[in-house]
Amino acid sequence: MRLPANLRNVTGIGLLLVLLALLVYDLLPATNEAEGDTISEVLAGAPLPAVLLAGYFLGHFWPIGVVLRRIWAPPDTVEKTGSLRSDDPAG
């Protein structure tokens, strides 16, 4: 199921805003004197199953198949058509 273009744009902008908000927030704990309170330090102290579960969900919902097909597609295929060849077994 494909989202309408306007919803895809809203989702992309929302994700960008969340990422930027987390980066800006992470400056606060990074500049104070307390230790172990940045996002990366909190995640480093999290139990391994929680970190693996988060990685699984990030990998599961990320369109990795599309990304990998674009990376491994012959350069002339993507440049000329903007997508993969229709006879490509990966597509």
Q: Which of 66, 54, 74 is nearest to 91 (CA)?
A: 66
What is the model's pTM? 0.49
Looking at the chain, how many residues does it have?
91
Residue 37 CA to residue 43 CA, distance in Å, equals 10
Share of the chain above pLDDT 90, in %: 10
Longest dimension (CA), the chain: 58
In contact, 90 and 69? CB cutoff 8 Å: yes
At residue 49, does pLDDT exceed 60? yes
Residue 40's identity, in one-letter code, is S
At residue 45, does pLDDT exceed 70? yes
